Every structure is written in structure tokens, then in C-alpha cells.
Structure 1
Amino acid sequence: MASSSPHKNILLLIADDLGKYVGCYGCKSIKTPSLDKLAAQGVRFDNAFASTASCSGSRSTIYTGLHTHENGQYGLHWFRSHFQTFHHVDSAPLLFNQAGYQTGIVGKIHVGPPEVYPWQVRKESDTRDVAWAADEGEAFFKAAKHSNRPFFLTVGYIDPHRDIQTRGEFGNVPEQYGDRISIPEVKEEDVEIPHWINELPQTRYEFKEYYKAINRTDTGVGLILDALERQGLAEDTLVIFTSDNGPPFINSKTTLYDAGIHLPLIVRHPGSKKGAVNPNMISFIDILPTMLDWAGLDLAMKGKDGLSPPRRGRSFLPIIDREDEVDASTWQHEVYGSHTFHEMQNYWPTRILRTKQYKYHRNIAWRLDFPFAADLYASLAFEEIRNMDPPVKVGNRTLKDYIFRPPEELYDLENDPEEIHNLAEDEESQKLLLEMRERVTEWQKETGDLWLYRDGQSVTVLSRYAKDGMEVPERLDFDAENPGTKGVVMTKHLDKDAYSAGIKETKY
């Protein structure tokens, strides 16, 4: 890889709904030669986790280093919902603009508003023509070289997302593409059906089409990396590849089960060990600090108004070559997750804590049905699943348990990687349950989470009355049969006026 640039450039590649369906992640039936090659040239992280399993929200955490309940991108950036990142939040394009970088994005954007994400070059498109994306990327590289500026380019692929206009399809129409893109033949009997979805004919059909879209994503990655090489910039560019959330099937996308958030993260760092497999836990809020670190910028840098919340992620560059589990005093052994909406009608707030062995879910609106994203409800796979002989299951989970979830879930991932056997009610697990609940609570307090609930109310909002002696029962949910407060343990978490402090800090 020849070099002609003195700069520290960044190329961020984001697939849409990919999950870990990549050859180098152990999926033997998929063909992803470009991603496998990238992993061989760089580092494959085996324990990378999105904060949320929804497109806009996940992208916002990558771009801001903040969870969605901090940055305001509570759900999909779609005109009917108007979910947007808060105006006072610093984003990657804003910070890199401030540092003198040429910034740009090609393809899917799906976050807003534009003034919060001020990419200088903005080539938004919903095309699946990955050759077009590579050409636009190469034009961007040439312009950066001509201006003698470092660059930060993001490519947002539409693939392998479902075709939102046609049931069961994934954009696999050969005449839409030029001769640089081929759609491979995939046999239904050759695809791998994961444990979290049912082995059924329509599932196999949809996974066959999904595989084709994944291959197109891989082709796009190869094309843009070739363009980077042609421009002599590969040796000076940090390349990061990931996906926003898990595959577009129920029991994965929009859930905080591992199928929805345990994702690929491949990083080619100039000078790092080739082909390394890193087992350490990475959160998507660590990606922006890592990019700032690579660029030699202050990891705590702020925009000009200085109002954005502090980023809590960390740069993983210091441990990028490690193929062992780094000591907890040096690196995190846990990650947190935050989901509130997908589409506007898909309200189901959940907060999680995941360690290497255990996973805790706090399902705040557990009395509601777990909602279906429209594209998942309309899928051919789900139509066949729901018409199975009872008891209907989604993978090894009953459909009833998928839709009706308890206020808390606790799983031993070493013995139950599918997150089926909830330990929250087990007497011997109560100490662990309370410990993990408390850790999530403290994280919610630290991040100003409006969905920190006690007695069915937002403790963050009620904290403005703390000075008046306001007390709230420590129970998670309101008890309509026994609503009284006499003789009830009161929460210790209503201890400061976090709500008004937040308003003052952000001028809202």
C-alpha cells in the first residue's frame, strides 16, 4: 500500500442490518471476500456491541459517542416521527470540521438535523449501487488530496436492509446494477439459519435473498478500498467497518438481545498487527473517541458552544492489538445499552447491562406488548412463523414470551446464550439481580436518563422536587392495588435536581 499523504485519514463504513453474517465471523456459507481480507489486514473485534438495535439510533451513538437517551435520537429519523439529535450535541462531522478535516458522507445518512451533522460533502442516496458509492468515495479522496487536507468519510450502505416496498425482497434486481456488481447464485439449502429464528421454507427464502444483499455490501467494501489504494491513501487511513444492528428478522433487529446488538467491528489500523482477533468488550460509543485519538485530537474536545454532554466512551487504540482479555483496571468488562423507540409507534424503552457472563434487561414499559417494526411484521418469514402449529415459537423462545416480557430479565450467557431462561425470579439470583439493577440505575443517573423510573415515574424529572422533601417508593412500578407510601422503603436515587440542572446546562 503506497502512501502519498502525510495526514491521518478516516474511512468509516456502515452496513445496514448486517449482524455477524460475515465469513471471518464464522459464517461458513456466506461469501464476503472483501471483509475477510480487511479482517486479515487488520483487527477483528469479537465482542463489539451496539447501544441500540435500531438504524438511526445506532448511527447516532457512533457519530456522537453518546447513548440515544443522551443525544436525543430516540428513534428513526423519519419525517412522520421527527426524532432528531439534540441541537446542542457534538457530532463527529462537527468535531472533525472544527479540526480542519474534509468531511463527507455517501449513501445512507438517517440521522438529523443537518446542522448537527454538518458533513461538508453530503451525497445522500438510497441506491444499492455500491459501485456508485465507491465512485463518489474516490472523487472525495481526490478532492482531499488536491486540498492537502486530512479527511473523514463515512459510507452508509443501504444493503443488506430489506426492500421496504416489496415483501420478502432485498433489492436483488440485476438490471439495477452495472457490470462491476454481480448478484451471486445462492441455494436455499446452503444458507445458515441462526438459532434465534425458525427453520422454515419462507425463512430460508428470505435468508437466500439476504445473502445476496450481503454479498453486494461486501462488493462495495472491496470497491471503495480499491479506490483508497489507487489514490495512495491506504497507509494513512484508519478504516472501520461495522453494522448498525442485527439482521432484519424478529428476535434480532429492534431487540437488545445479543442477536440485535452483538455486531461485527473490523478495524484496519496502519501499523497494527495483521489478522488479530480482539476479545475485549467494545461499545459503539467508543468509536468516536477512537477516531479522535487516531487523529491526535483531544478525546474530550467540544464544539464551539461547549454544551454537549461529556462522551463516556473510550479510545480502543491502546488495546487494538491485544488478543487477550485486558485487565479490568485497564479496559471495561461491561457495556450498556439504551433503546426507546424504533418507528414512532414502536415505543418500548429498555436499558441493559451486559458483562462477559451476564445480561440484565430493565424493561420499563413492560406492560405494553413488545412492538413489531413494520418491515419485520410484513416479512414472509414472520407470516409463516405465526401460522405454525401452537405453541408458536420464534427460535427457541415462545412467541408469547417474545411479545409479553417481564419488568426485568437476567440471563447467564455462558449457559444460556440464547437468552431464554430468565433468572430474575430465581431466589438464588436475587443478589446478582439487585447488583446489576443498581449498576444500571447509577449509569442512568450519570447519563441523565429520563427513563430512570421508580414507582412508575421518572426519577430524573421528579428530582426537581427533591429540595421540597419529595420522596418516591423504591419499587420499579406503580402498585395500583397498594399505592400508599406509609411504611414503604423510599428511593435513595432522588438525591439531586438532575432535571433542572440539565435544563440549565443545555439552555432548553
Structure 2
Amino acid sequence: MKKYLFKILLLVISISFNSCETKQKEVTENNKKVNTSPNIILFVADDHGTDAIGAYGNPIIKTPNLDKLAQEGTKFTNAYCTSASCAASRSVILSGQFGHATGSYGHVHDYHHFSTYDSIKSLPVLLKKAGYETARIGKYHVAPEKVYHFDTILEANPRNTVEMAEQCADVLNSDKPFFLYFCTDDPHRGQPFEPDPWDSPNNFGNKKEGYKDVETITYKPEDVLVPAFLPDTKQTREEIAEYYQSISRIDQGFGKLMQLLKETGKADNTIVFYISDNGMAFPGAKTTVHEPGIKLPCIIKDPTKDAKGLTSDAMISWVDLTPTILDMANVDFNKNKFHGNSFYDVIGKETVEGWNEIYASHTFHEITMYYPMRVVRSDNYKLIWNIAYPLEYPFASDLWASSTWQAIYRNNVEYFGPKKVKDYLHRPEFELYDLRKDPNESDNLATKEAFKEVLETMKGKMKAFQTKTKDPWMIMWSHDASLQGSGVNL
């Protein structure tokens, strides 16, 4: 009997020892992962399109630091946000899921009060769990805080990116690998939105006295480049000049941040992203799902990649950012938890296969701006479904008050850029474009018999996307109430 008990005791001790040894191995392996993981900086501008960066072909604007990033990394020319609205876009960036599936339909501040479901596990939370120090500075614009929690919140003037960069010094010197979420208020339109007189340009955060340690770089209205979708007017040019000035301030702060990073000796183990939440804050871009609203700058410098100064035409989306960053950070994750996919292997390559399709989903901007739109782009074709097409297209408050729009509205001008005002305000249910032949989205193919088959194929892709991502607006294809369940909380 004693021998039997002794054997049982030895077996229990052996199992316990093996269990402890297994756990210790797991801890050791996790520590190795953390110790070899790169630092990551995600730098997000506010309302910055591809129209105003030197690296993307603008010879007028001065963005030497962003241009240098492109020379040292990979520049994407088909990078898309999923919703051209600040809060909705940022929720996607940090969750890897479309806003229609997380409750992040629009703005979180003031009376709008949209909020992400509590069940969502965001990027900073997942990185913290993996051993990262997480820090944010500047514009936040997501809710609730417990879903998008960061260890450290840094304070600085979000219009002074040099000051913001200086406040990040301690994070850059962290003993642990760090994830820094650096979000400017530039080049968003500045208060007051309603100018006095009405035809004065918005300040885009610029001040006559300038900002501490920032060189004020100004532009002449006659020198700026007016994108094809905008009217080439005095008011438009004056506002673009202010927009450029705000971007040059971003560039200086980005340069300062890179300088501080280099001084820490960590530049060779830090991956740096430069993106924007949506396109320029002008009618026809921000809050729309046309190309100027959702096709954005994306420049990534990854020191572990040998190739430098590359341009990639792979179609990537902000819904891909969270899985990509988790992949970079050596974090194990369930791919099925995200709507996006990691494009880590695409960085540093000019030509890739399979990255030829993206989707977009916009529902609100401000709470008064209900206008749900869904988008699929597949190769050169792009389909927009304006779900609430009988409604007049809504205006964001800052865009409505802009002198660019008011110069058209007050003077009853027939055209806003190349489009008639009535066509801007009243949109068809479907818009189908061949972007290779029609990059300005001016020739709607949706009603043309020759493209009927293409239209049906694209609709099929859109429906499959909505089904996969559990889009509540899927019901609008057939008004089948069974898609919404009983409507009763049992």
C-alpha cells in the first residue's frame, strides 16, 4: 500500500514539474518574442489626401521628411480607408473590422455619440497583452476608452507636431518594445468653421503668430494645384494654400520625431507608418466614397526589409492595418477575428498577386448625415451603392460653411468642378466606374447595357462582403425582415 501511495506521489510530482516546465517554456518563448519584436509608430494625419505630398507627385508642397520616408520605405498608391470620416475611419484602423459590424457608424464626440461595442478587442489592448508599451498622443476620437485603452496618454498641442514629437521622448526610450499612436489635428479645418466674411478661407489650424519651434511655410494661391474634382476658383485656391501650410507643419513634426527616434539608437528596430484617416476636407473628398475621399497616402518604412524607395500598387485597406501590425509584432492572433488581412509580406515588394480588391463602408459622419454607402473595387472596376439615394447628399458642417462651397451655392453656379451641382446633391442608386479609363469617376457605367454583366458581378461581390461582415444594411437588397431576426430580446 505504501509503495502504491509513493508511486502516486512521484507521479503527481512529475506531472507538476512537467507542467511548471511547460509554463516556464511558454513564458520564456513569449519573452523572446517581446524582446525581438520591433517598435511601431503609427502616425495618422487628419484629412490629408494623396494630392498634397511631394512623394505622390505634388511639386509645389514642401514635405521633405515625408518624401524621405518614401525614399527609405514603401509607398502604396492604392491604399484605402473604409469610411471617409474621422471617427469611423479610426475605429477601423484600431480594430481591423468594418464600422458597420462594430457599431462605429460615425462621430463619437458632442451629440453624435456613436460608440464601438464593448466586445471588440482593439490593437492597443492586444499589443499590451503581448508585452508592448502602448502610448498615444493627439487626436483620439474613438470610444469607449476601455475598448481603445492605451497605457500612456501624452499631452501636447495637436496642431504643433514638433511639440508633440518632443513629448514622445520617454516612450521612444522605453525599455519595452513600444507602440506609439501619433495623431495630429492637422490638416483638419480649423475653428471657426463659418468665416466672416463668408468668402474668407478657413485657417486649417494656421495662426499668424505661428507655432513654437515650427517654421511657418506659406503658399501663394496662384501656385497651388487644384484637384480635378474641385472648381478652380479664387476661394478654392485660397483654401488649398492654407491646407498646404498645415501639411508643412505636419512634415516638420514628423521630421522631429524621426530625429528623436534616431538619437535613441532604435531607428533600425522601429517600423514607421504614415497614413491619414480620410481625404482632404473639401466637398467631393471627405465624407464621400469617391477616390479623393478614400484613396490615401500610406508610406511604411520597415528597416528589416532590404528594398528601399519602392512603389507598390497593391490594394490595401485600413481594415488590414491591425492584423498587419500584429503580424509585425510577432503576436499570435486568430485571423478570423478580423475582416482585414496582414499585408506584411507585401511591404518591400513592387509586384504582388492577389491584392487587387478592397471594400468600403460608410454610414454616418455627423449623426444628422445619414447616407449609407457600400463600395467594392475589384481590379479597375469600382461599384458604389448609394443605399439612401432618394435623399439629398448631406454636408458636413465644416464643408458646408467652406468658402469653396459657398462660392458655388451663393452664386447659383451650375457646376461644382466637372459635375453639375444637382448631380452632386442627387446621386443614382448605383455608380460603376472603370478607374483605368476614368480615374475621375465621371462616366457612370451602371445604366449602360454593355456593362450589365460587370454590374451584376460587382453586386455579387458586394453582397458576399456584406454577408461575411454581417452588415445590417444587407437587408436593403430585398427588405427581407428575416435578416434582422425577431427584433425581440428574449
Letter in 2 for 1:424: A
C-alpha distance in 1 between matches for 2:270 and 2:446 = 46
Letter in 2 for 1:159: D
C-alpha distance in 2 between matches for 1:126 and 1:81 = 24
The reply on whether 1:235 has 2:235 as its aligned counterpart is no
Deviation of 1:176 (Å): 4.9
The reply on whether 1:19 has 2:49 as its aligned counterpart is yes
C-alpha distance in 1 between matches for 2:157 and 2:189 = 12
Contact kept, 8 Å, 2:162 with 2:254, in 1: the verdict is: no
Alpha-carbon deviations, 1:313-340, whole Å to 9, x = none? 111111212112x22xxx3311000000
What's 1:209 paired with? Answer: 242
Judged with a 3 Å threshold, the aligned counterparts in structure 2 of structure 1 residues 456 and 397 are, in CA distance, closer, same or farther, namely farther
What's 2:377 paired with? Answer: 354
Please point out which of 255, 259, 263 is paired with 1:222.
Answer: 255
The reply on whether 1:59 has 2:90 as its aligned counterpart is yes
Contact kept, 8 Å, 1:335 with 1:355, in 2: the verdict is: yes
What's 1:157 paired with? Answer: 184
The reply on whether 1:96 has 2:96 as its aligned counterpart is no
Please point out which of 117, 129, 140 is paired with 1:86.
Answer: 117
What's 1:440 paired with? Answer: 462
State the secondary structure of the residue aligned to 2:440. Answer: coil
What's 1:492 paired with? Answer: none
State the secondary structure of the residue aligned to 1:348. Answer: coil
C-alpha distance in 1 between matches for 2:158 and 2:349 = 38
Deviation of 1:103 (Å): 0.2
What's 1:184 paired with? Answer: 217
Larger Rg over CA atoms: 2
What's 1:400 paired with? Answer: 422
C-alpha distance in 1 between matches for 2:131 and 2:350 = 34
Judged with a 3 Å threshold, the aligned counterparts in structure 2 of structure 1 residues 425 and 106 are, in CA distance, closer, same or farther, namely same
The reply on whether 1:28 has 2:59 as its aligned counterpart is yes
C-alpha distance in 1 between matches for 2:253 and 2:75 = 19
Deviation of 1:140 (Å): 1.7
The reply on whether 1:338 has 2:361 as its aligned counterpart is yes
C-alpha distance in 2 between matches for 1:185 and 1:238 = 31
C-alpha distance in 1 between matches for 2:47 and 2:80 = 14
C-alpha distance in 2 between matches for 1:295 and 1:186 = 40
Letter in 2 for 1:240: F
The reply on whether 1:127 has 2:149 as its aligned counterpart is no
Judged with a 3 Å threshold, the aligned counterparts in structure 2 of structure 1 residues 227 and 174 are, in CA distance, closer, same or farther, namely farther
The reply on whether 1:464 has 2:478 as its aligned counterpart is no
Judged with a 3 Å threshold, the aligned counterparts in structure 2 of structure 1 residues 203 and 114 are, in CA distance, closer, same or farther, namely same
Contact kept, 8 Å, 1:245 with 1:260, in 2: the verdict is: yes
Alpha-carbon deviations, 1:358-402, whole Å to 9, x = none? 110111111111100000000011111224564x22221111111
Q: If the length of structure 2 is used for normalisation, what is the TM-score?
A: 0.88
Letter in 1 for 2:483: L
Deviation of 1:271 (Å): 2.3
Letter in 1 for 2:313: P
Deviation of 1:125 (Å): 5.6
State the secondary structure of the residue aligned to 1:416. Answer: coil
Letter in 2 for 1:151: F
What's 2:327 paired with? Answer: 293
Judged with a 3 Å threshold, the aligned counterparts in structure 2 of structure 1 residues 123 and 433 are, in CA distance, closer, same or farther, namely same
Please point out which of 263, 267, 276 is paired with 2:300.
Answer: 267
- Which structure dedicates a bigger proportion of its chain to helix? 2
State the secondary structure of the residue aligned to 2:473. Answer: coil
The reply on whether 1:200 has 2:233 as its aligned counterpart is yes
What's 2:387 paired with? Answer: 364
Deviation of 1:79 (Å): 2.5
State the secondary structure of the residue aligned to 1:109. Answer: coil
Contact kept, 8 Å, 2:53 with 2:63, in 1: the verdict is: yes
Alpha-carbon deviations, 1:391-432, whole Å to 9, x = none? x22221111111111111111111211112111111111111
Letter in 1 for 2:372: P
State the secondary structure of the residue aligned to 2:315. Answer: strand
Deviation of 1:198 (Å): 0.5
C-alpha distance in 1 between matches for 2:415 and 2:177 = 51
Deviation of 1:457 (Å): 2.9
Please point out which of 398, 402, 407 is paired with 1:375.
Answer: 398
C-alpha distance in 1 between matches for 2:146 and 2:386 = 33
Deviation of 1:297 (Å): 1.0
1:164-183 aligned within 5 A: 164-166=191-193, 167=195, 168-178=202-212, 180-183=213-216
State the secondary structure of the residue aligned to 1:153. Answer: strand
Judged with a 3 Å threshold, the aligned counterparts in structure 2 of structure 1 residues 393 and 453 are, in CA distance, closer, same or farther, namely farther
Deviation of 1:105 (Å): 0.4
State the secondary structure of the residue aligned to 1:281. Answer: strand
C-alpha distance in 1 between matches for 2:415 and 2:284 = 11
State the secondary structure of the residue aligned to 2:485. Answer: helix
Q: Which runs of 4+ in 1 moved over 4 A?
A: none
Deviation of 1:42 (Å): 0.7
Letter in 1 for 2:41: L
What's 1:256 paired with? Answer: 289
Contact kept, 8 Å, 1:129 with 1:176, in 2: the verdict is: no
State the secondary structure of the residue aligned to 1:87. Answer: coil
Judged with a 3 Å threshold, the aligned counterparts in structure 2 of structure 1 residues 441 and 7 are, in CA distance, closer, same or farther, namely closer
C-alpha distance in 1 between matches for 2:392 and 2:169 = 47
What's 2:453 paired with? Answer: 431
State the secondary structure of the residue aligned to 1:453. Answer: helix
Alignment size in residue pairs: 447
Contact kept, 8 Å, 1:109 with 1:124, in 2: the verdict is: no
CA-based RMSD: 1.8
C-alpha distance in 1 between matches for 2:345 and 2:477 = 43
Alpha-carbon deviations, 1:101-134, whole Å to 9, x = none? 1001001111111000110111356631112210
Judged with a 3 Å threshold, the aligned counterparts in structure 2 of structure 1 residues 431 and 50 are, in CA distance, closer, same or farther, namely same
**Which runs of 5 or more residues in structure 2 are unaligned?**
1-34, 196-201
Contact kept, 8 Å, 1:241 with 1:265, in 2: the verdict is: yes
Judged with a 3 Å threshold, the aligned counterparts in structure 2 of structure 1 residues 404 and 150 are, in CA distance, closer, same or farther, namely same
Letter in 2 for 1:288: T
